Structure 1
């Protein structure tokens, strides 16, 4: 699209945007995530890294990694999360991702996308990655430890995880301000107990999330919260960075 008006018109045609992605002409897609990109702790330089972006959705972190110099970013998603509120017609699979990729001028080979489950990752088919982004996905999985093991099998360096955490909110213990802080624990939600979303299966505490990443083979692990005193459910998020050292191999 050669004009700002034409690009904006195309952005407006999509029924829902999850990510805020900066496009040419100063246009930003009307999503709400990430809440605070700096909080994810991603290095400013990802020069020559091969990266896996799990749960890519519109592609914010795929394109951000390319801006930071990544050699290639492979994006995967299975489009199973509807946030508890979206109609199926509002999730348009890879159409928003493809639109942004074209608008930003990236070649398909530099940021291919695959419609697949995280459980299907394997090194023979997908190769090894220097860095893995695993954002907003773990708590949607029925088998989060299996997913981390699968990720570890294709990662030779670092993993960055962002997840809902249990430290300051538990629907079973009184809601906001009544979490399980300082516990190595995880809650199971067989229906829609967490955020009225029946695709939310498990939420761990930050300490539990860190130990899960460690158990998957990342022996250098650090964790932090989005904010120390969250005032709403959307702020009850945590981050873990795990790194494989030479002793991990």
Structure 2
């Protein structure tokens, strides 16, 4: 059995990997102790950690946009058999590999875009998709691809929301001349950011609450729980009629 590295060695290794967005406890060494959001994402995780099984023995997990690996590590702590984290940023992936290695957790991390998940060729019992959707130029496509290719059962989803939290009932159809529903506060609305939001060029789309929930339902994810205003635990079901990642759509029977 290899000897655990000293805290000085861990601190030096973590520092060499640059600034961390995930504050992770590496045997007493915190990777982002001065994080502007506090103990992030640990504090946030406490709001919804209870919706996932405490014992995940035998489960497979895909963490999309894994960043420094906080959630992937939490899944392994709960006993998940296979955990795969993907991210487009190699710096984050190096941080995640370092954290997993330091904590003695066997987790695979790959550089991959969410749009390429079909190349994985496998489905996962749980897909984690937190804090990613609003960074994507093609958000609905990403949800379609997750549904079609990698989600087997559960989806843990979070997206920044802005605008009203009201969710108005929507009709199955509207006459072409009826523009009034689009002015209703609770109508599903996805707002486009042309330049920057919060100084971030990768913030592209921000839904209101009604839109986030409608997008999940439309792509075939039944909302089971909403433990935090922006967090949803969903189950994979058949997508709404016309939903698919390719055109022409396969229709309501697609599963």
- For this structure pair, what is the TM-score category when the shorter chain's length is used for normalisation? 0.7 to 0.9
Q: For residues 69-104 of structure 1, give each alpha carbon's deviation from its aligned partner in whole angstroms, at most 9, with x where no partner exists.
A: 11111111112xxxxxxxxxxx72422111111101
* Alpha-carbon offset, residue 20 of structure 1: 1.3
- State the partner residue of 1:27: 29
**CA offsets, 1:166-189, max 9 Å, x none?**
1369xxxxxxxxxx9744211001
In structure 1, the residue matched to 2:156 is 160
Note if contact 1:209-1:240 (Cα within 8 Å) is conserved in structure 2.
no
Q: 1:28 & 1:138 partners in 2: Cα distance?
A: 27
Return the offset for 1:207: 2.0
Give the Å deviation of 1:245.
5.2
Where do residues 164-203 of structure 1 align in structure 2 (5 Å cutoff)?
164-167=160-163, 182-192=186-196, 194-203=197-206
Is 1:49 paired with 2:59?
yes
RMSD: 2.4
Q: Is the 8 A contact 1:220 1:244 kept in 2?
A: no
TM-score normalised to the size of structure 1? 0.76
Matching residue of 1:127: 122
**Secondary structure class of the residue paired with 1:94:** helix
The TM-score normalised by the length of structure 2 is: 0.75
Contiguous gaps of at least 5 residues in structure 1: 80-90, 170-179, 227-237
Report what 1:243 is aligned to.
235
The equivalent residue for 2:108 is 112
How much has 1:105 moved relative to structure 2? 1.0
Distance 2:227 2:215 in 1: 15
Q: 1:12 aligns with which of 12, 15, 18?
A: 15
**1:39 paired to 2:47:** yes
Structure 2: stretches of 5+ with no match in the other structure: 166-183, 239-252
